[in-house]
Amino acid sequence: MTALAIHQLAKSFGGLHVTRGVDLEVAPGERRLIIGPNGAGKTTLFNLITGEIKPDAGSVALFGQELTRLPSRRRAHMGLSRTYQIITLFPKDTLLRNVTLSLLGLSHLRWNPLLRLDRQRSLIAQAEAALARVGLGHLAHRPLAETSYGERRRVEIAMALAQNPRVLLLDEPFAGLSVDERRDVKTLLFAIPRDVTIVMIEHDMDVALDFAERITVMHFGEIVVEGTRAEVVADPRTKEIYLGE
Residue 19 lies in a domain: yes
Q: Do residue 223 and residue 128 come from a single domain?
A: no
The arithmetic mean of pLDDT across residues 167-182, rounded, is 90
Q: What is the pLDDT of residue 245?
A: 52
Q: Do residue 174 and residue 57 come from a single domain?
A: yes
Residue 84 lies in a domain: no
Q: Which of 118, 145, 164 is the last residue of a domain?
A: 164
pLDDT per residue as tens digits for the range 13-72? 988 889 999 999 999 999 999 998 888 999 999 999 999 999 999 999 999 999 999 988
Q: Which pLDDT band holds residue 121 (cuts at 50, 70, 90)?
A: confident
Q: Which of 115, 146, 164 is the last residue of a domain?
A: 164
Q: What is the pLDDT of residue 111?
A: 44
H or E stretch covering 185: helix 179-190
Picking from 82-86, 93-97, 128-132, which range would have the lowest pLDDT averaged per residue? Answer: 82-86
* CATH code for the domain in which residue 40 is found: 3.40.50.300
32 close to 216: Cβ distance less than 8 angstroms: yes
Q: What is the pLDDT of residue 18?
A: 92
pLDDT per residue as tens digits for the range 86-112? 777 888 889 998 998 888 766 554 544
Long-range contact pairs involving 17-21 (C-beta distance under 8 Å, separation at least 24) = 17/220, 17/221, 18/44, 18/221, 19/44, 19/45, 19/48, 19/55, 19/221, 19/222, 20/220, 20/221, 20/222, 21/57, 21/58, 21/222
Q: Do residue 170 and residue 60 come from a single domain?
A: yes
CA 129, CA 50: separation in Å to the nearest integer? Answer: 25
Q: What sign does the CA torsion over 209, 212, 215, 220 have?
A: negative
More confident site: 122 or 95: 95
More confident site: 242 or 58: 58
Range of the domain at 107: 90-164
DSSP label at residue 137? G
pTM reported for the whole predicted model? 0.89
The side-by-side arrangement of strands in the sheet containing 16-26 is: 16-26, 4-13, 57-62, 65-66
pLDDT per residue as tens digits for the range 135-164? 999 999 999 999 999 999 999 999 899 888
Q: Do residue 192 and residue 148 come from a single domain?
A: no
| CA angle (25, 200, 205) in 5-degree steps | 120
Q: How many domains does the chain have?
A: 2
Q: Which of 164, 186, 207 is the last residue of a domain?
A: 164
79 close to 70: Cβ distance less than 8 angstroms: no
Residue 35 lies in a domain: yes
β-strands 16-26, 31-35: how paired? unpaired
CA 232, CA 238: separation in Å to the nearest integer? Answer: 7
